[in-house]
């Protein structure tokens, strides 16, 4: 596992350099989810693939940008990753990220054994969730990630990141979001789940929601590359990840690119979500 985390550090440094120096234009292709790819999606995917395939404990890799996994002869872990999350924000210079889920035996929620994400913002930060959740920051002079602190969520936060097209929100979802605002919650939504979830985690709590909607009942965010890794991070930090009804980590993945509604947050907000969604299916 440490070997994989060391590889992810190298990947993060190289992707961070690519973000700063490479062309931000679009390519003439879409990925397996039908998203328009930017050149940096493809470059970041190649960087991650190169290091992960060269890591002896890695058995298989699959990414948001790949139709199917690449399997090796040996190794133990299955790594599913989103090489560049929030890539449509690159051209407006907002923070973006990379997300890695480290699985054993398969890609169901219960198979995830560790999760790592990287935030490329004014500073490069990496969060590693194993038994505990740890924050590291890149020292650009030494090119080393330095340990900063352990991260824990409070029982209740003050900020809210409500995703999905509001026009298509279910009425009960809209009412729940309105109620949070009436309680005094403040809006924090950039359109990049990595910085949005990082903010909630570092500020101690809150809610990030990417619900199912009338136009997209299964939401947008992908189980293997985005949802399961963050569900793992939040759980290990003392928070929760649910699909409205159940713990996200109890969900199965039928296809590599499956999506699910998802809510991440601290205890108070997630209880409100569960109460709201109860009986609505």
Footprint of Mn ion (CB under 5 A): 64, 82, 84-85
Instruction: For residue 217, state whether it binds ligand AHG (rule: CB under 6 A).
Output: no
* Residue 136 C-beta-side C-alpha neighbours within 13 Å: 22
**Long-range contact pairs involving 121-127 (C-beta distance under 8 Å, separation at least 24):** 121/95, 121/195, 122/95, 124/12, 124/13, 124/16, 125/198, 126/8, 126/9, 126/12, 127/151, 127/198, 127/201, 127/233
Catalytic-role residue among 45, 196, 226, 269:
226
Distance of CA 135 to the CA centre of its chain: 15
CA of 108: how far to CAs of 48, 71, 102, 223, in Å? Answer: 22, 17, 11, 9
- CA angle at 52 for the pair 110 and 43, rounded to the nearest 5°: 110
193 touches ligand AHG by CB under 6 A: yes
Q: Quick one: which segment of 49-57, 81-89, 134-142, 263-271 binds ligand AHG (CB under 6 A)? A: 81-89
Q: Angle at CA 130, nearest 5°, toward 124 and 134?
A: 35
Q: One of 41, 45, 60, 111 is an active-site residue; which one? A: 41
Decide whether 75 or 195 has the Cβ nearer to ligand AHG. 195
163 binding ligand AHG? (CB under 6 A): yes
Cα 238 to its chain centre, rounded Å, is: 17
Q: Does 243 bind ligand AHG (CB under 6 A)?
A: no
| Number of residues in contact with ligand AHG under rule CB under 6 A | 12
Tokens of 145: 């990630």
Determine if 195 is a binding residue for ligand AHG (CB under 6 A): no
Of the residues 49, 60, 64, 125, which is catalytic? Answer: 64
For 172, which DSSP code?
Answer: H
Q: Between 32 and 202, whose beta carbon lies closer to Mn ion?
A: 32
CB of 189 to ligand AHG, least distance (A): 7
94 is a catalytic site residue: no
Closest distance to ligand AHG from the beta carbon of 104 (Å): 24
What does DSSP say about strands 207-210 and 159-162: parallel, antiparallel, or unpaired? parallel
85 binds ligand AHG (CB under 6 A): yes
Q: Which is nearer to Mn ion, 161 or 204 (CB)?
A: 161
Say whether residue 87 binds ligand AHG (CB under 6 A): yes
Pick between residue 60 and residue 85 the one whose CB is nearest to Mn ion. Answer: 85
H or E stretch at 225: none
Taking the complex as a whole, the smallest distance from the CB of residue 182 to Mn ion amounts, in Å, to 31
Do 7 and 55 touch, CB atoms closer than 8 A? Answer: yes
Q: How far apart are CA 10 and CA 225, in angstroms?
A: 19
Minimum distance from CB of 220 to ligand AHG (Å)? 6
Shortest gap between Cβ of 76 and ligand AHG (angstroms)? 27
List of residues contacting ligand AHG (CB under 6 A): 35, 64, 82, 85-88, 163, 191-193, 220
Catalytic residues: 35, 41, 64-65, 82, 84-85, 226
């Amino acid at each position: 596992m440490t070997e994989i985390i060391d590889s992810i550090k190298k990947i993060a440094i190289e992707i961070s350099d690519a973000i700063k120096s490479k062309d931000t234009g679009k390519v003439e292709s879409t990925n397996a989810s039908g998203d328009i790819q930017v050149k940096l999606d493809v470059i970041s995917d190649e960087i991650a693939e190169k290091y992960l395939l060269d890591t002896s404990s890695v058995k298989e890799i699959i990414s948001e940008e790949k139709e199917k996994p690449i399997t090796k002869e040996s190794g133990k872990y299955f790594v599913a990753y989103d090489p560049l999350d929030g890539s449509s924000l690159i051209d407006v210079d907002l923070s973006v990220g990379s997300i890695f889920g480290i699985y054993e035996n398969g890609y169901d929620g219960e198979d995830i054994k560790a999760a790592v994400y990287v935030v490329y913002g004014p500073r490069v930060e990496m969060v590693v969730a194993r038994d505990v959740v740890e924050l590291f920051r890149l020292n650009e002079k030494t090119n080393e990630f330095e340990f900063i602190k352990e991260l824990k969520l409070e029982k209740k936060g003050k900020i809210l990141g409500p995703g999905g097209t509001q026009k298509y929100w279910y009425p009960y979802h809209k009412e729940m979001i309105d109620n949070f605002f009436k309680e005094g919650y403040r809006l924090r939504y950039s359109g990049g789940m990595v910085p949005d979830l990082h903010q909630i985690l570092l500020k101690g709590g809150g809610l990030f929601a990417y619900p199912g909607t009338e136009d997209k009942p299964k939401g947008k965010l992908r189980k293997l590359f985005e949802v399961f890794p963050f569900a793992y991070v939040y759980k290990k930090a003392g928070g929760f990840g649910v699909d409205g009804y159940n713990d996200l980590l109890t969900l199965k993945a039928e296809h590599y690119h499956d999506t699910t509604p998802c809510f991440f947050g601290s205890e108070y907000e997630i209880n409100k979500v569960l109460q709201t969604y109860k009986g609505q299916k």
